[in-house]
Structure 1
Amino acid sequence: MPRRVKQVINMDVRERIKTVAVLGAGLMGHGIAEVCAMAGYNVTMRDIKQEFVDRGMNMIKESLAKLEQKGKIKSAEEVLSRIKPTVDLEEAVKDADLVIEAVPEVVEIKKQVWEEVDKLAKPDCIFTSNTSTMRITMLADFTSRPEKFAGLHFFNPPVLMRLVEVIRGEKTSDEVMDLLVEFVKSIGKTPVRVEKDVPGFIVNRVQAPASVLLMAILEKGIATPEEVDATVRRLGLPMGPFELVDYTGVDILYNALKYYAQTISPDYEPPKFLEEMVKANKLGRKTGQGFYDWSKGRPQIDSSKATDKINPMDFTFVEINEAVKLVEMGVATPQDIDTAIKLGLNRPFGPFELAKQFGAEQIAKRLEELAKQFGKKIFEPAKTLKEGKLEELLKAGKAEAEEKKEDEFKTIKIEKLDGGITKLVLNRPDRLNTISPEVLDEIDRAITQLWNDKDTRVIVITGAGDRAFSAGADLGGSIITHPFDFLEHNRKGERVFTRLREIPKPVIAAINGYALGGGLEIAMNCDIRLAKKSAVLGLPEVGLGILPGWSGTQRLVKLVGISRAMQLALTGERITAEEAERWGLVNKVFDDDKFEEEVMNYAKNIAERCAPISMALIKRLINKGGEVPMDIGLEWECTAAGLLFATEDMREGISAFLRKDKPQFKGR
């Protein structure tokens, strides 16, 4: 979309949408209402019975009270004042600018609701459904305004999950799609555009073939549920796939497979044993019995039952295959699919990021084997994989994604200040600025953006809020599914942090609170570290059974020597900023009340006094000095000195010195 149009929509979204009607006060409905009210929208929440509405409001109150206690919102009462509960459909929708329907996934119920809403709502009201399976086009046809109808698929729980799939029906207008994307951003969520109305949209559709594979393994007697779950949990997942089916509901999987069998392929037809479980009310956790016995709270899965009869990577390969098919159908870009899977399923990597590691040939070969073994055409490799054109598809998608990204960041902030100073703020204060895969991606993008930015002479990295610079990796926000994933996650962090050392500008870490684990590793890869007196530093990884895997073991030795590095990394102890200064880990410590002012003065002094090209070459030489023999380093130093002799800045520096004036460096 052209930049001019996007700017207009950014300005108009809150003018266009002021009141949101949420239909349904259940698990999803009350969460969606809460999210919209927290973002400042007026909300009417409607359900068919007062008891349902009251239950939804009570859940909202409990949730808001917890958020207020944790400091994530200022006032629970203020948010509640924006939510109006009702059982009257006309009252709910008559003034609404946007309707979000979250009623049960039954066609007849949705049809009845939408036919009534269509008569009661304003002509310019936008209609959306939170359906996770039904075609948006079908639901839109229950109204007289299909061009104003789209899907807004939130994930459970809406308050915590950041992903929202924005789904285009066959007649949805561009204006409505663009406006809804901006609306999703305005409520603090991440929108992913689904440009073609297909069953399952993105996240559920990508997962669907893995469910078929799971059922086929059981149907053919290859492995038991416990053997499969023990094998998968060995890779670091909190739940195995069969335990997860029990947890969410056996009937949910059965109904989804039935729907996909009717709309995608007969290969999705659920096996007889699954149908018999549903008929016998063995639905998992909610009935006490499913694949496991839940009568004691949670099934005990014997980890010794792990087996080599299945290969967990097969589930990944069929998901990659389905993701490729979605791109071929024009549903979404590879980058958007990766984003959706990572955010919707709390995974560190998307299917296309994983596909790059294995390559089209290996994936296609294994898919052919699975298709033959289980007699399922849906496992056959997509055309792109079969023809070995995965790289071409990824390149085309990357070009489109870069155009869409523009300068938007969600987990960091870039602040351009006077005097050539740019602040890069880790912006997750509610999570102590912990580092997720998305944070790494955005830091990497920010470094690229600032690399050749002539207006930036000094970069200051700090954390939002006053509690933490960064408390390390976001261990609760991502699920590593395989040792190889964890390896790649570490390599990614190392590469991104190395770029901080390589960027041709001084980088200052302003440590304004906890700098633990990965947070300290970011700081150690900066050129200069300034800390608040109250800051606390440490590498706690050893107490978690892991290690400082983002260059910590290597950088720490270079900064403080082997003895101190051993002490900090082996014990996991935390040290004060003043102790870190004595060790040489921190360059300067400032009083808390003057910290920000002192940091800015420090950065400003560097930006004003020091020549940009000179700083870039000095930084490079010092970083390489500890890695190469002395004679090679000296040769590089002479070469760099010769390069500087030809710069305008060198002549300006010497001229200013002789005339006893401040030099005006231009980076030339």
Structure 2
Amino acid sequence: MIKQVAVIGAGVMGHSIAEVFALNGYDVNLEDFYPEVIEKAKAGLNNSLDKLVASKKIDNAGKKSALDHIKFFNSIQEAVKNADLSIEVVPEVYDIKVKVLKEISENTDRIIASNTSNIRITEMAGEVKNPERFLGMHFFNPPILMKLVEVIKGEKTSMEYVNELYELSKKIGKIPIKVLKDQAGFVVNRISAPEMLLLCNAYGNKVAKPEAIDNYFKSQGLPMGPYQLFDYVGLDTVVDSLKYYGKELSPDYGKCHAFDSLIEAKKLGAKTGEGIYKWENGKAVIPPSEESDKINLMDMFALEINEATRLIEDGVATPDDIEAGVKYGLNRPFGPITVANGLSNDEVLETLDRLQKQYGLEVFQPSNTLKAHKLREAFNKKSEEIKKEETTGILDYKIDGKVGIITLMNGKNNLMSFELLKALDHQLNLIEEKNNVNVVIIRGNDRAFSAGADLSQFISNPFMFMKIASTGEHIFDRITGMNKIFIAELKGYVLGGGFELALACDIRTSVPDSVIGFPETSLGLIPGYGGSQRLPNLIGISRAMDMILSSERITGQKAYEYGILTRLYTENIEENTMKLAKELSEKISPASVYVAKRLIYSTAKINLDEEALSMGMLYAGNDLKEGVRAFLEKRKPDYKGN
């Protein structure tokens, strides 16, 4: 049982890891050889905890409790002697790490972990006494915010300790993945390695101006282009990683010298004020440029998918852990497994063949899995446990009498992502199967019932976009066809897909200050989950036309006056909605509900297939790309009508 943790190295990563453990009730010994680093760590901890207080994630008592759990040391021996787990968090330099690890192992007989992001655990284990207790515990920066932890097994590491740190990571609120074979880069950085190599070679070969490539990737919804990101993390860091991969993975990684002259001139990026770009006030000064797709999303996705199949072939990680690693380690809405589900084996092969011929690098050769056309088989090996976990944490379901309560829990805005739609569909299946409730309440949180669709999801083509719209439509249409009364309890933002879910329900309760509307037309879209037809059937063509075409957001009070809402509560909406639900569940016949709903909804002509087809047509146009890009960049769109 791990109760006391020692964190060796009090820099930015170290003190943030200490903060994570302390916030979760663990006693932490934070050590650094340099007293000035300890003082900076104390200031950093205070500042970070103050931000958590300001955002109401903790209160002042929580801040005090976290600080009380942390003790500071200038001696490794003293810091680790009573620790159940000691985590090394010193600079990513092999000689420094092994020196510290050796001292730790001489002063404790308990578990030792390294927070290394690249260096193989097996490589460092030679300096650790009893290496079966030594493994990797790689947090992502900043640890206080990033969810992922890679738990890495060295060749001599006992699985007992891998499993123990895996469970510990869950207890401190993280999403852990198991790296079962410690190849360089582990999972997340390994997936990104071929992309780094491609971008380095493209820069050296002057394939296109870096700003043109960056502008292209920003147009696809990324907040930062790849070359801007290189500057941000430091060109020296990028090159050091490539050199290490050149030694450990393939000599190809060591062949790119495109950034050498910049590094020699001390132009390392943001930290020196100049790299690929000049940096002023913490921001890159990027010259105006047209977009260039000489390197495009398909190139990146093909490389990621290729590397993911190699990780599976080598037994490094499971498909599910690779997906979770990329999703939570790179803070993206999807990983390579999701992307691959929208592509064919041949599409990936063709892209890799083109890249290999263009750059002459063996790293870009297709994996054995892709050559054998077994992409689907490799990526779709999901255990029942993983399938069950797919809905965990994204929605909650409980029963009170004959009332079922679905609570949407997809982040603060409850965005309608693929995962949330699938989880809702799965929950509807269970409700139908068990048939033990008569009324179902669907609710969100105080901030949002749902603020709409997740616009950052990966969609490979118009057909896939149309298919997603059709899937959402038919999930919502199931609600209208079930022999249950569905009540949408609306608070905060009720926008886009969230509004469409509410319209699919039979009764809608809300509060006067909720915010309701369809922003889709301002993004180059239309309501695509049935809303373009359900709203006019509810309030008439004229008002529906006004709401949809103007993308106006109205209050709950106005929505009640329009006839969108069934009940408006000025206070205690949860209690009042539950009271209504219980009354209905006890006095209304499910058979009557089924027949009544069927008759009432049959009077409304709804053509869901036409709506889905329209969504696919919009995806192929430029206005949607401009709308999404403007939304992400928080500016007004410049539509051309195509």
What TM-score, normalized to structure 1?
0.83
Q: Which residue of 1 aligns with 2:475?
A: 499
**One-letter identity of the residue aligned with 1:502:** R
3-state SS of 1:417 partner: strand
Partner of 1:354: 339
User: What does residue 114 of structure 1 align with?
Assistant: 101
Q: Distance in 2 between matches of 1:74 and 1:387?
A: 56
Q: Does residue 193 of structure 1 match 2:169?
A: no
2:74 is matched with which residue: 87, 100, 125?
87
Deviation at residue 585 of structure 1 after TM alignment: 1.3
Q: 2:566: which partner in 1?
A: 587
Per-residue CA distance 1:452-485 (angstroms, 9 max, x = gap): 2333443221123x4443344567xxx567x748
Q: CA deviation at 1:551?
A: 4.6
**2:469 and 2:184 mapped to 1: Cα distance?**
36
**Distance 1:467-1:273 versus aligned 2 partners, 3 A rule:** closer
Give the superposition deviation at 1:369: 2.1
Q: Which residue of 2 aligns with 1:167?
A: 152
Q: Secondary structure at the match of 1:381?
A: coil
Is the 8 Å Cα contact of residues 93 and 99 (structure 1) preserved in structure 2? yes
The number of residues matched between the two structures is 602
Instruction: State which of 427, 433, 443 in structure 2 corresponds to 1:446.
Output: 427
Following the alignment from structure 2 to structure 1, what is the Cα–Cα distance between the partners of residues 463 and 55?
33
Amino acid paired to 2:330 = L
Residue number in structure 2 paired with 1:419: 401
Q: Which moved more, 1:345-354 or 1:510-519?
A: 510-519
Q: Which of 342, 360, 380 is matched with 2:365 structurally?
A: 380
Aligned 8 A contact 1:533 1:592 in 2? no
Distance, in Å, in 2 between the alignment partners of 1:230 and 1:568 is 33
The alignment partner of 1:127 has SS state of: strand
2:47 to 58, 62, 75: 62
Distance 1:612 1:394 in 2: 42
How far has the Cα of 1:601 moved from its partner? Answer: 2.4
User: Which amino acid counterpart does residue 84 of structure 1 have in structure 2?
Assistant: K
Aligned partners of 1:550 and 1:61: how far apart in 2? 46
Quick check: 2:534–2:606 contact (8 Å CA) kept in 1? no
**Of residues 545, 560, 563 in structure 2, which corresponds to 1:566?**
545
Q: CA deviation at 1:108?
A: 1.4
Residue type of the partner of 1:243?
Answer: Q
| 3-state secondary structure, aligned to 1:51 | helix
Select the residue among 481, 489, 492 that pairs with 1:510: 489
Residue 408 (structure 1) shift: 7.0
Q: Which residue does the alignment assign to 2:230?
A: 245
For 1:447 and 1:146, the matched residues in 2 are separated by 49
Deviation by residue 1:615-648 (Cα, 9 ceiling, x = unmatched): 456546655553479xxxxxxxxxxxxxxxxxxx
Q: Distance in 2 between matches of 1:232 and 1:418?
A: 48
Aligned-partner residue type, residue 171 of structure 2: S
Distance 1:343-1:448 versus aligned 2 partners, 3 A rule: farther
CA distance in 2, matches of 1:45, 1:185: 21
- How far residue 65 of structure 1 moved from its aligned partner, in angstroms, is 0.8
Distance 1:622 1:152 in 2: 57
Indicate conservation of the 8 Å contact 1:411/1:426, yes or no. Answer: no
**CA shift for structure 1 position 98:** 1.9
Q: State the alpha-carbon separation in 1 of the partners of residues 14 and 462 from structure 2.
A: 35
Task: Report how far residue 613 of structure 1 moved.
Answer: 5.7
Preserved CA contact (<8 Å) 2:197 2:256: no
Aligned twin of 1:393: 378
Match of 2:635 in 1: none
Distance 1:171 1:153, change over 3 A: same
CA distance in 1 between partners of 2:178 and 2:599 (Å)? 46
Structure 2 unaligned residues grouped into runs of 5+: 608-642
- Tell me whether 511-520 or 176-185 shows the greater mean CA deviation: 511-520
Report the counterpart of residue 604 of structure 1 in structure 2. Answer: 582
| Equivalent AA in structure 2 for residue 589 of structure 1 | L
Deviation at 1:443, TM superposition (A): 3.5
Relative to structure 1, the CA distance from residue 198 to residue 99 in structure 2 (aligned partners, 3 Å threshold; closer, same or farther) is same
Structure 1 unaligned spans of 5+: 1-15, 630-668
Kindly tell me: are residues 74 and 437 of structure 1, through their superposed partners in 2, closer, same or farther at Cα, counting changes over 3 Å?
Answer: farther
The verdict on how the C-alpha distance between 1:613 and 1:335 changes in structure 2, with shifts beyond 3 A counting, is farther
* CA pair 474-373 structure 1, distance change in 2 beyond 3 A: closer
Percent identity between the two aligned chains: 43
Match of 2:330 among 325, 336, 345: 345
User: C-alpha separation between the residues in 1 aligned to 2:356 and 2:506?
Assistant: 53
- Give the CA RMSD over aligned residues: 2.8
> C-alpha separation between the residues in 2 aligned to 1:170 and 1:618?
65
206, 212, 215: which is aligned to 2:191? 206
Cross-structure match for 2:265: 280
Q: What is the CA deviation profile of residues 414-457 of structure 1, one whole-angstrom value per residue up to 9, with x for unaligned ones?
A: 2422323222222367x254555554454444344444233344
Return the match for 2:444 from 452, 458, 463: 463
How far, CA to CA, are the matches of 2:376 and 2:599 in structure 1? 36
Per-residue CA deviation, residues 42-76 of structure 1 (Å, 9 max, x unaligned), is 22211121111111221121111121111111222
Find the residue that maps to 1:367 and give its secondary structure. Answer: helix
The aligned residue for residue 368 of structure 1 is 353
2:89 to 92, 99, 102: 102
Q: In the alignment, residue 385 of structure 2 is paired with which amino acid?
A: E
- Following superposition, the deviation at residue 487 of structure 1 comes to 8.8
Does the aligned pair in 2 maintain the 1:512–1:535 contact within 8 Å?
yes
Contact 1:237–1:480 (8 Å) recurs in 2: no
Q: Is the 8 A contact 1:424 1:459 kept in 2?
A: yes
